[in-house]
Amino acid sequence: MAESRTIGVFGAGWVGLVTGGCLAELGHKVIVRDVVPDRVAALQAGRLPFHEPDLPEVLARNSGRIRYTLDADELAGADVLFICVQTPPTYSGDADLSYVWSALDDLPRAERRQLLVMKSTVPVGTGEKVRAALEARSLANVGYVSNPEFLAEGTAVRDFMNPDRIVIGAFAPEDAAFVESLYVGIETPVVQTDVASAEMIKLAANAFLSTRISFINEIANVCELVGADVESVAQGVGLDHRLGPHFFRAGVGWGGSCFGKDVSALKQLAGNSGYHFQLLAAVIEVNELQKRRVIAKLEKHLGRLRGKTIAVLGLAFKPNTDDLRDAPSLVIASRLLAEGAVVRTWDPVADARERLQGATQCDNILETVRGADAAVIVTEWNELRDLASEQVREEMARPLIIDGRNLLDPQATRLAGFAYEGVGRPTSPFEALPEVAEREGAAKPPVRVSGPVEGVRGNREVPPARN
């Protein structure tokens, strides 16, 4: 068990509460400070402002060791101050550090030395700037350490307690050692480095994860053209120990509050320093286009989407969170609305009513697909695994499933009577509406390559050549 310290946390957002809760779980006393009175009041009353598995239990279990306040002066007795505020993108794609600077404005005047630990994702060079700002404010007795977070939404508590590594970038070795001591009890490699490198590790990790996804999405798009199955391809490639299987799932593109922001912040940081980061420009563009491919797939089957009813299933940017920030669902649903489609949406926890005005958010899956010309799986919630059911088929006006996350088994879905399109999977027989079929010359039955093609799951079905 770690020696118990008193830890102040600036920011009762997702990173602040997970960090505060888990540090309390490790035995420390934690005071979380936020500037939003309603948020602090809700936390004091035991209510969590967002959905994150395991976090309510962690906070409840450690309620004797964690408290919430609006008053930064209550952090004056803390040994360490974690900065866990948001760093959203500005219009230029740089990171907006205004919340970091206002936390610095509110730093309590402590009698003894305190350590400021940056958890928020910040541009490389921020540590140097903060150090200069602290000196300018005669706060030279405040030390600075960069200790980036690698928490993924939906698994944040597990990620904190069982991390792949802890990264600590410090100006003074004793500060690094002090921060490392807070994590005693967690078995993992610790990377001790300089502040700039720690800042870069965080940005590079998110940029590389995004790059892997954009890469496999482009492979998927080529698979669609040449009749290969990206699921088998990803498996076969990912088994190479040099490449690995993670973050290699093709889909409708990445979303969330981190990838878009951090990839663009790194690209911008490079540009500001005189380097054009070409690869990241492509990673971002591929992701934007990937979301929109759903529209073309729907049009292939339904022709013009004006007046067609489309069920958008899953709104959160990934399962097990209610977070809608940068969610592909918002782009897809907005494009559908712009095309004049009737959009019905469903999500077990996320509420998009304000952001998707014009769409109808339904309470359950059956209600959402009622009368729909197509159902689109945007987020791979477990509840959608049984989508290809008789009940759903009967409710739909037209049994067409566009599976944006390759959640369903194509063959089973087709056997259940649905036309099915995944991402980078052998395509469905071309079952277009009559007027589309006529225009596209698709009236001929599809050519079927029957029998399992070796190494590829399911039959390969090839649409007829276009006239």
Question: Which is it for the CA torsion 227, 232, 235, 236, positive or negative?
Answer: negative
User: Minimum Å distance from CB 63 to ligand UGA?
Assistant: 25
Residue closer to ligand UGA, measured from CB, 116 or 324: 324
Long-range contacts of 136-143 (CB under 8 A, 24+ apart): 137/104, 137/107, 139/107, 141/110, 141/112, 141/113, 141/114, 142/81, 142/107, 142/110, 142/113, 142/114, 142/115, 142/116, 143/113, 143/114, 143/115, 143/116, 143/170, 143/171, 143/172, 143/175
Mark out the alpha helices in 155-229 (DSSP H runs): 156-161, 173-182, 195-226
Residue closer to ligand UGA, measured from CB, 328 or 458: 328
Task: Tokens for 238, please give them.
Answer: 């990912």
Task: Tokens for 435, please give them.
Answer: 């007027």
**CA angle (103, 107, 109) in 5-degree steps:** 175
Task: Please spell the DSSP secondary structure of 418-457, one letter per residue.
Answer: -EEE-SSSPPPP----HHHHHHHT--SPPEEE-SPPTTSS
Residue closer to ligand UGA, measured from CB, 89 or 464: 89
Residue that is written with structure tokens 């079929």 in the block: 437
User: Minimum Å distance from CB 152 to ligand UGA?
Assistant: 4
- Known catalytic residue: 258? yes
From CA 246, how far away is CA 243, in angstroms rounded?
9
Q: Which residues bind ligand UGA (CB under 6 A)?
A: 121, 149-153, 206, 209, 213, 247-249, 251, 254-256, 258-259, 262, 317-318
User: Minimum Å distance from CB 153 to ligand UGA?
Assistant: 4
Nearest to 402 by CA among 176, 224, 228, 181: 224
User: Minimum Å distance from CB 253 to ligand UGA?
Assistant: 6
Residue closer to ligand UGA, measured from CB, 107 or 213: 213
Residue closer to ligand UGA, measured from CB, 152 or 219: 152
User: Minimum Å distance from CB 231 to ligand UGA?
Assistant: 12
Query: Per the residue annotation, which of 22, 84, 223, 258 is the catalytic one?
Result: 258
Residue closer to ligand UGA, measured from CB, 255 or 399: 255
User: Minimum Å distance from CB 121 to ligand UGA?
Assistant: 6
Catalytic residues: 258
